[in-house]
A and B are shown apart, each in its own frame.
Chain A
């Protein structure tokens, strides 16, 4: 029960001679929310695809728990309007039970759209419908790629709340990709700051004070997070004794 759901060991992957992932190791445990943050093009989506088994890494090992069932919520989805498919039918692609689909829609708070054509859902409804499909196979690992994209601020908070509830009710591990740590601070247990390699990782409050994090997120990070320390002129933070871990191959101090 305590074995990790999935463990990545020294994963590397390059596309067209460009190193997208370098020496990335991470584990995901049951009941734990891990958030991957990093700038655009940092390899977040590639890392997610490695976890999902959609791309095979060039180097490294992946250990999956034998009972691993993954529920995946893609960043966005485009369904050609020539394909007539109701939201309920869309969910049934994951689980043929009508009842289960209705319950999932209830859980994510959009029971009224079950007969609505999928391509007519609003941005927020679509995110919720995708989340409903992800939980329909009773997964023990949920992988959410930018789950709140295109959702307004209040909707984002509601969605993160919902994700937290789902974690408790399914007791599943969650891997989430996000641009912005501050929104997910309260909802995450572990943060991985990725820029091709793992720059730093740890609890959210440790990571936000990590020089590597500040280097990447720079100004935004400085202005958005709660200051409980002094910045030097370079944007570095004086060491407050936080025990963050640097990833292997990290060059900075």
Chain B
């Protein structure tokens, strides 16, 4: 009897682990190419701002009793589009604007959560991810989100590269620069919403930029850099999750540390291109 119960429990644990692994790999797949754009276009701070606003999304979702995934995606999208509009106005330098929005949305998220006395929200899992609590439903959300993001990136790839290289040349050559740029913001918001579960709002940007920076060392074309970045991110997910399993470290931070180790190793390689 006892043996059967143990076996059951063991199978359950394996399920957890497989869900966690699949979730992490799905996010890593799209984090590669998107992270490259974050690096090329110097959008790291922009990513941080959206990620921090995701916390505000969670707290508003709880407050208004809306599905958290929808709330987070909506707030990230609004923040992304709001940033595009404010940047156009040119009132403040973009990094100042990002600094204001980034930290005030993080603070607002924390304040609203603290006011929700009747709901217990696990702040640590929001900030640093909770990969091991991924459910089958989460997997569906993650893979549809990642699927849409990858599809959009693939469709717009040439235009995205073109506006990254030189937006005015791209515009003269017929690329709809504003539209493509907005699409990239939307994709970023979408990926941040699905990546939150994996590494939490404070570490999302790390999952985007560290694999891309690692891939740069050994890539001579934008495409190879995007693919290598995906591989590095997936490797980081596997080894981070392994560390979490064997030495009981938190999964999200372990994934980031694995990616950082890969980056340090890549520094020993000769720069390509």
Contact = CB atoms under 8 A, between A and B. Distances in A.
Interface of A: 49, 52-54, 70-72, 74, 77, 79-80, 82-86, 89-90, 93-94, 117, 133, 137, 143
Contact of A82 (B40, B165, B272): B40
A74 B166 contact: yes
11 contacts: A54-B168, A54-B171, A74-B169, A83-B40, A83-B165, A84-B273, A85-B221, A90-B165, A93-B158, A93-B161, A133-B169
A103 to B, nearest CB: 18
Contacts of A117: 220, 273
A137 B41 CA distance: 26
Nearest to B273: A84
The 3 A-B residue pairs whose C-beta atoms are closest, nearest first, are A84-B273, A72-B172, A83-B40
A70 B165 contact: no
Nearest to A118: B165
B173 interface: yes
Contacts of B41: 80
A81 to B, nearest CB: 9
Interface string B5-36: 00000000000000000000000000000000
Interface of B: 39-42, 158, 161-162, 164-166, 168-173, 213, 216, 219-222, 224-225, 272-273
A90 B170 CA distance: 11
Contact of B172 (A52, A79, A83, A89): A52
A85 to B, nearest CB: 6
Contacts of B219: 84
Contact of B165 (A52, A72, A79): A79
Given A93-B158, A117-B273, A83 B222 contact: yes
A209 to B, nearest CB: 35
A137 B170 CA distance: 12
A86 B221 CA distance: 7
B239 to A, nearest CB: 24
B162 to A, nearest CB: 5
B166 A77 contact: yes
Contacts of B165: 77, 79, 83, 85, 90, 93
Contacts of B164: 83
Contacts of B225: 84
Contact of B168 (A71, A72, A83): A72
A225 B166 CA distance: 37
A74 B168 contact: yes
B172 A84 contact: no
Contacts of A49: 168
A93 B173 contact: yes
A75 to B, nearest CB: 10
Nearest to B39: A82
A94 B42 contact: no
B40 A80 contact: yes
Contacts of A137: 173
B169 A86 contact: no
A54 B172 contact: yes
A166 to B, nearest CB: 17
B189 to A, nearest CB: 22
Contacts of A90: 165
Contact of B162 (A52, A72, A86, A93): A93
B222 A85 contact: yes
A84 B219 CA distance: 7
Contacts of A93: 158, 161-162, 165, 169-170, 173
